[in-house]
Structure 1
Amino acid sequence: MDGAPDGVIELRDLEVFYGDFRAVKDVTMGFGSKEITALIGPSGCGKSTVLRCLNRMNDLVPGARVQGRVAYHGVDIYEPEVDVIEVRRRIGMVFQKPNPFPKSIFDNVAYGPRVTGMKTDNMDEVVERALRGAALWDEVKDKLKQNAFGLSGGQQQRLCIARAIATSPEVILMDEPCSALDPIATAKIEDLMVELAATYTIIIVTHNMQQAARVSQRTGFFTAEADDMGHRTGRLVEFATTEHIFGNPTDSRTEAYITGRFG
Structure 2
Amino acid sequence: MALIEEFERTGSWLFRWRSYLPFVFLPLIVTAVLRYPVIELHPNLHFIWSIISLGVSLVGLKVRCHTVGHAADGTSGRNTKTQAAEILNTTGFYSIVRHPLYLGNFLIVLGIVLHSAAPWLVVVYLMAFALYYERIMFTEEAFLRRKFGREFTDWSNRTPAFVPRLRQWKSAELPLDIPKVIRAESAAVAVIALTFPALEFAMHEAQQGNVAIETSWYILLGSGILLYIIARVMKRQLRRWLKYERILCEAAK
Report the TM-score, using the length of structure 2 for normalisation: 0.23
Quick check: which has more Rg, 1 or 2?
2
More helix by share: 2
More strand by share: 1
Report the TM-score, using the length of structure 1 for normalisation: 0.23
